[in-house]
């Protein structure tokens, strides 16, 4: 692919960073190894207290990156700062502990150039652990074409911010990341884009998302409240959506959170799983997922985990068929 001077980049890659001195170099290497080279890299250091600034200083002095330091305001504020400072036509996002695959930018720029009507293009992704072990491909192909408002009902496998490429002009139309949301801020932005534009999808893993062992359970215990806030905002923005639709959306979210917690081993996670299963049933008594989640919570961990793995496969198939409902 033909490229032009980096003084006039076509793509801006934005990395929000907070205390990632040990991993951010690996993330940057995955950008520098891109088959498409007409990009700039903006790193917004969100108040790091480790050696992040020292690690990045040589790259900033060499002009390989643009380094911006701000007080700790959260990932959305860091991404928004990067967007406002960007010179590129397209925005890409990479978390400081994750990776791009080599063809990520090339394939997505080509897609946007041939599909200018799209509000964004994204791809599947692969999860991996700190030891480099591959944890499998995640297929997010459901999120393609015009998907609003049905996307509010879909919780099976969500898009990853690292897979997205967004024209900068789209932010002028729908706004930036909502800095008041601490969880689901990316979903909220995709929702606002989906109301106006079709989504593009490349059926290939173009990003690698790191799973940090030891913090998954804690994240899942706190995430439900954040998703409640996200859905409340969605229905506030679009009062034309019916109460029945609202209940279905909340019910499916609660049952998905219950499933996620059932895979954890511990009394607190189990109690939260049962709470969310009950919420799912209350919102929509016809939601079979809620009953199955509650039923599974009555078994021991090993059997429960096995049941949930099987049910997730069934649920993914059902949710896919329900896309047009």
pLDDT digits (tens, 9 = 90+) for 159-195: 999 999 999 999 999 999 999 998 999 999 999 999 9
Confidence check: pLDDT of 216 > 50 = no
Residue with more model confidence, 93 or 217: 93
The answer to whether residue 26 is domain-embedded is yes
For residues 167 and 313, state if they share a domain: no
The answer to whether residue 195 is domain-embedded is yes
Which tokens sit at 304? 């429960």
pLDDT value, residue 312: 59
d(CA 39, CA 216): 33
pLDDT band at 236; cut points 50, 70, 90: very high
pLDDT value, residue 321: 52
For residues 161 and 304, state if they share a domain: no
Confidence check: pLDDT of 4 > 80 = no
For residues 153 and 104, state if they share a domain: yes
Residue with more model confidence, 4 or 213: 213
The answer to whether residue 3 is domain-embedded is no
> What length is written for the chain?
325
Residue with more model confidence, 156 or 280: 280
For residues 159 and 20, state if they share a domain: yes
Please give the average per-residue pLDDT across 105-134, as a whole number. 95
Which one of 178, 211, 244 terminates a domain? Answer: 211
For residues 18 and 122, state if they share a domain: yes
pLDDT value, residue 309: 66
pLDDT value, residue 315: 54
The answer to whether residue 6 is domain-embedded is no
Low-confidence winner among 56-65, 149-158, 159-168, 308-317 (lowest mean pLDDT): 308-317
The answer to whether residue 216 is domain-embedded is no
Confidence check: pLDDT of 79 > 60 = yes
The answer to whether residue 1 is domain-embedded is no
pLDDT value, residue 292: 86
For residue 20, report the phi and psi dihedrals to the nearest 5 degrees. Answer: -120, 35
Q: What is the CATH number of the domain that holds 111?
A: 3.90.550.10
pLDDT value, residue 214: 45
What range defines the domain where residue 113 resides? Answer: 11-211
Domain count along the chain: 2
Contact present, 258 and 271 (Cβ < 8 Å): no
Residue with more model confidence, 320 or 12: 12
d(CA 15, CA 136): 24
pLDDT band at 215; cut points 50, 70, 90: very low
Residues of the chain with pLDDT > 70: what percent?
Answer: 89
Residue with more model confidence, 293 or 53: 53
pLDDT value, residue 237: 97
List CB contacts of 272: < 8 A, sequence separation 6 or more. 221, 224, 257, 261
pLDDT in tens, 252-304: 999 999 988 887 777 888 899 999 999 999 999 999 989 988 988 887 767 76
Calculate ∠ Cα 281-286-290, nearest 5°. Answer: 40
Confidence check: pLDDT of 103 > 70 = yes
For residues 198 and 281, state if they share a domain: no
For residues 164 and 268, state if they share a domain: no
Confidence check: pLDDT of 198 > 80 = yes
For residues 196 and 280, state if they share a domain: no
Q: Please name which of 2, 56, 1, 53 lies closest in space to residue 28, comparing C-alpha atoms.
A: 56
For residues 132 and 236, state if they share a domain: no
For residues 15 and 79, state if they share a domain: yes
pLDDT band at 132; cut points 50, 70, 90: confident
Mean pLDDT, the chain, rounded, equals 90
pLDDT value, residue 125: 96
User: How far is C-alpha 238 from the geometric centre of its chain's CA atoms?
Assistant: 22
For residues 186 and 243, state if they share a domain: no
pLDDT band at 107; cut points 50, 70, 90: very high
d(CA 284, CA 263): 23
Confidence check: pLDDT of 86 > 50 = yes
pLDDT value, residue 135: 86
For residues 75 and 148, state if they share a domain: yes
């Amino acid at each position: 692919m033909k490229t032009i001077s980096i003084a006039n980049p076509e793509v801006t890659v934005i990395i929000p960073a907070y205390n990632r001195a040990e991993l951010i170099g690996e993330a940057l290497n995955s950008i520098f190894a891109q088959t498409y080279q007409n990009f700039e890299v903006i790193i917004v250091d969100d108040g790091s207290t480790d050696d992040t600034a020292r690690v990045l200083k040589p790259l900033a002095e060499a002009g390989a990156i643009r380094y911006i330091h701000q007080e700790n305001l959260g990932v959305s504020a860091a991404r928004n700062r990067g967007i406002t400072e960007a010179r590129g036509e397209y925005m890409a996002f990479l978390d400081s502990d994750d990776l791009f695959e080599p063809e990520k930018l090339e394939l997505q720029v080509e897609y946007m150039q041939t599909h200018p009507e799209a509000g964004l293009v994204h791809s599947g992704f692969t999860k991996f652990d700190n030891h480099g072990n591959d944890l499998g491909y995640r297929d997010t192909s459901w999120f393609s074409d015009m998907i609003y408002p049905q996307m509010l009902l879909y919780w099976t496998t969500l898009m990853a911010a690292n897979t997205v490429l967004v024209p900068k002009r789209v932010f002028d139309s729908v706004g930036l990341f909502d800095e008041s949301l601490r969880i689901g801020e990316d979903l909220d932005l995709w929702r606002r884009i989906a109301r106006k534009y079709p989504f593009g999808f490349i059926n290939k893993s173009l990003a690698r998302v790191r799973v940090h062992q030891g913090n998954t359970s804690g994240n899942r215990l706190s995430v439900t409240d954040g998703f409640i806030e996200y859905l409340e905002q969605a229905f506030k923005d679009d009062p034309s959506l019916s109460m029945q639709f609202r209940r279905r959306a909340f019910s499916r979210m609660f049952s998905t959170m219950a499933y996620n917690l059932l895979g954890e081993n511990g009394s607190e996670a189990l109690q939260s799983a049962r709470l969310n299963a009950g919420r799912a049933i209350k919102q929509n008594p016809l939601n079979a997922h809620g009953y199955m989640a509650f039923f599974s919570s009555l078994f021991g961990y090993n059997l429960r985990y096995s049941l949930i793995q099987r049910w997730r496969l069934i649920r993914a198939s059902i949710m896919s068929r329900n896309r047009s409902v």
